Amino acid sequence: MHILGIETSCDETAAAIVREDGTILSSLVLSQLKEHAAFGGVVPEIAARAHLDHLHTLIEAALSDAGLGYDDLDGVAATCGPGLIGGVLVGMMAGKAIAAAKNIPFIAVNHLEGHALTPRLTDGIEFPYLLLLVSGGHTQLLVAEGPGQYKRWGTTLDDACGECFDKSAKLMGLPYPGGPNLEKIAAACAAPQKALERFPLPRPMAHRKELDFSFSGLKTAVRTHVYALPKGDLDAADVADLAYAFQTAVAEILAERTGKALEKFLEDYTPAKASLVVSGGVAANQTIRAALDELAAQKGVTLYAPPLNLCSDNAAMIAWAGLERLRAGHSDGFDFKARPRWPLDPDAEPKHGAGVKA
Ligand code: KG4
Ligand code: ZN
């Protein structure tokens, strides 16, 4: 079985072909970094138009890289939300058109489920597992029980973790995309201990009983430090110190919250083999991976973090999520409507102040 995956929910146009056994036959990602860089962030209208310009070429290239034609496809999986709706519509309609023309199943994939199921594609891990999903739009702790079956235990009450990286990076005068650039400059910090003393930062929600996150106070603290620095172009050494202090704070916050969730997971599920998964764009950060690795070692569980190219947005994860759903007997009609908001756990209680991110 060969599934075509299509991803257009943010600023990456992506197409991939994945075989039933989890072999990624092709996976192409066209980043729109250049189109958005001048604006310091993703402009939805520009993103949608760029997807429209490039998606068909990318799909044909993915087929050709895999040595396949449209007739060899057994299904089409497209991200149908959550995300920037203009872009989502482009990918969803392309997917429906191919499925209709070839009379094969169409699978509407939740982008978050793509991230959530990636370690089953890469490492074949078993359900249930504890999942820390950290991306530009979401920061959640969930238990993955099966395809389409998630229990949300914690979520951000304000900014997402990746959003906090991006906004803090912007405050530090770093170019877009903020997260990876902040990680790069933090590595240039010459005196880590001194940097932490120089730039004390809060750990919001630390040791709270609930498993939620909050990042807006951290971002505000970064702003206060930046405003206290000499005006004009910020000194590179100052930025490296502040970036280091920021990244350390985020890694500690994520490890502390996840540690608490892990204790509950081990108690509630008593899995024979306990797995902790970190996925989403922020999972590419090495300091965060190291902090979670240490946590996993302490608790005697195995940490799974996807390879870097499968942390950031890609279509292989969408094809795989489609495959899992198809195998579970699930496909969607052409009347499926794109969803700007699509929680993995629709039964989770809305959180006060969390708005649409819950
Ligand atoms: O999963 P993703 O590619 O897109 C969404 O679904 O949101 O995540 C993008 C987010 C951005 O906020 C980006 O700055 C962040 O992931 N990110 C990183 C790193 N690489 C990407 N954050 C910190 N360190 C990184 N190395
Ligand atoms: Zn994503």
Taking only the tens place, the pLDDT of each residue in 220-273 is 999 999 999 988 888 999 999 999 999 999 999 999 999 999 999 999 999 999
Angle at the Cα of 345 (from 263 to 219), degrees rounded to 5? 70
Q: Whose CA is nearest to atom 2 of ligand 1?
A: 281
State the CATH architecture for 127-306: 2-Layer Sandwich (3.30)
Evaluate if residue 191 carries a pLDDT over 80: yes
Beta strands of the chain (E only): which ranges?
A: 2-7, 12-19, 24-31, 75-81, 106-110, 129-134, 139-146, 149-155, 275-279, 302-304
Instruction: Report pLDDT for 33.
Output: 77
pLDDT of residue 353: 64
Q: Which atom of ligand 1 is nearest to the CA of 111?
A: 6
Q: Is the CB of 165 under 6 A from ligand 1?
A: yes
Cβ of 135 less than 6 Å from ligand 1: yes
134 pLDDT more than 50: yes
Q: How far is the CA of 112 from the centre of ligand 2 (A)?
A: 7
- CATH for 2-117+309-357, options being 3.30.420.40, 1.20.120.160, 3.40.50.720, 3.20.20.20: 3.30.420.40
Average pLDDT over residues 150-174: 96
* pLDDT score at 355: 56
Mean residue pLDDT across the chain: 94
Position of tokens 């799974």?
A: 304
Q: What confidence tier does 354 reach under pLDDT thresholds 50, 70, 90?
A: low
CA of 38 to the centre of ligand 1 (A): 18
Ligand 2 geometric centre to CA of 12 (Å): 9
- Is the shortest distance between the CB of 285 and ligand 1 below 6 Å? yes
Q: In the chain, which residues fall in CATH 3.30.420.40?
A: 2-117+309-357, 127-306
Ligand that comes closest to the CA of residue 280: 1
- Residue among 7, 164, 282 whose CB has most ligand 1 atoms within 8 A, to mutate: 282
Give the C-alpha separation, 46 to 327, whole Å: 36
Evaluate: CB of 305 within 6 angstroms of ligand 1: no
- Cα separation of the two ends of the chain: 35
d(CA 313, CA 292): 21
Mean pLDDT value of segment 10-35 = 92
Structure confidence at residue 37 as a pLDDT band (50, 70, 90): confident
Residue 185 burial (C-beta neighbours within 10 Å; 0-12, 13-18, 19+): buried
Residue 160 identity: A
Measured from the CB, is residue 183 less than 6 Å from ligand 1? yes
**Residue of 165, 341, 342 best suited for mutating to test ligand 1, as the one with most atoms within 8 Å of CB:** 165
Residues in the chain: 358
Q: Is the CB of 217 under 6 A from ligand 1?
A: no
Reply yes or no on whether the pLDDT at 357 is more than 80: no
pLDDT confidence of residue 358: 46
Query: What percentage of the chain exceeds 70 in pLDDT?
Result: 98
Residue having the nearest C-alpha atom to atom 8 of ligand 1: 281
Q: Tell me, using a 6 A CB cutoff, whether residue 180 lines ligand 1.
A: yes
CB 8 within 8 A of CB 87: yes
Is the CB of residue 16 less than 8 Å from the CB of residue 28?
yes
